[in-house]
Amino acid sequence: MASRAGPRVKGTDGSDFQHRETVATRYQTCVALKSSIRKLNVVHVLIWLLVAAQVIVSQLSPTSHHDALADPFQWKYLYLLSIVPTTLSFMALPRNNAKRLVVSMISVGFFSVAPLLYGAMEMFPVALWLYRHDEAYLHMLGVVMCLVMAIAVPLHGWQLHYSKKLLDQWFTGMQKTK
């Protein structure tokens, strides 16, 4: 069918339907992945605030209440640096900045996962001793921190997984357009 001005321009007759569908699907996937990463980042910020509060309170507490509040383990100081990859991730998502997202993923390994693994090794003997001597009730904050670690490790794993899938979507889109 021709228009008044002559034949119809190629691509406007619906023949590029498959291309439009793949672009729409890729866009929807990217939006869903970005949403998941943002939610995981928010949960990470909440965990980070909990660790930061525990470190700050333990540093500012008077020595008379020192027994009631456990000293922070060394891994908690290192884990405070984990706000860097979260900030980079938040900054990378609005403009699809792949470089920032890659740096964020690498930083998650160094500043988030590594301190958590070190902390698990550091806290395991203490937790085992408290369990054997039935004194876990004295160090409830330590128990809470063990739970935080049990939540944080899979959280960072999912964050890395979704970030990798998002990068794959971004690079797939760039490969097809070239």
Query: What are 4-17's pLDDT values in tens digits?
Result: 666 666 656 666 67
pLDDT tens digits, one per residue of 50-86: 889 888 887 886 655 545 445 667 888 999 999 999 9
Task: Specify the pLDDT at position 64.
Answer: 52
Contact 122, 73 (CB under 8 A): yes
Task: Specify the pLDDT at position 68.
Answer: 47
Task: Specify the pLDDT at position 30.
Answer: 92
Task: Specify the pLDDT at position 123.
Answer: 79
Task: Specify the pLDDT at position 75.
Answer: 86
C-alpha separations of 110 from 53, 57, 81, 115, 177 in Å = 22, 25, 9, 8, 34
Task: Specify the pLDDT at position 10.
Answer: 63
Token pair recorded at residue 9: 């321009």
User: How far is Cα 9 from Cα 11, in angstroms, rounded to an integer?
Assistant: 6
* Residue segments in the chain with a per-residue pLDDT below the cut of 50: 66, 68-69
User: How far is Cα 144 from Cα 159, in angstroms, rounded to an integer?
Assistant: 22
Task: Specify the pLDDT at position 121.
Answer: 87
Give this prediction's pTM: 0.77
